[in-house]
Amino acid sequence: MKETFIEKLKWKHIKWKSSVYAIVAVFFIISVAAIIFICTNFPTDSIIYNLGNSLFTGIIASIVVAVIIQIKQDKNEFEKKRAILFDAGFYLKCFQEQYSQKKLVNNKVDEDWKQLFRLCEEPAAYLSELYKSGVDVLDIVDISIIRKINHNYKFILRLSESISANSKDKEFLKDSNEIMDVWNKYNHMVTELKENLFFLLIKWKKDAIID
Rounded Cα distance between 47 and 128, Å, is: 63
Lowest mean pLDDT among 6-20, 116-130, 178-192: 6-20
Q: What is the dihedral of CA 70, 76, 80, 82, to 10 degrees?
A: 90
Q: Around Cβ 194, how many Cβ atoms within 10 Å?
A: 22
CA dist 52 and 38 (Å) reads 7
Greater model confidence, 178 or 26: 26
**Angle CA 120–180–198, to nearest 5:** 20
- Angle at Cα 191 formed by Cα 187 and Cα 195, nearest 5°? 175
CA distance 5 to 28: 28
- The residues spanned by each domain of the chain are 5-82, 85-206
CA distance 88 to 125: 10
What 3-state class would DSSP assign to 209? coil
pTM value is 0.76
- The answer to whether residue 169 scores a pLDDT higher than 60 is no
Contact 200, 148 (CB under 8 A): no
| 106 pLDDT more than 90 | no
State pLDDT tens for residues 116-157.
999 999 999 999 999 999 888 998 899 999 999 999 999 999
Q: What's the CA gap between 173 and 180, in Å, rounded?
A: 9
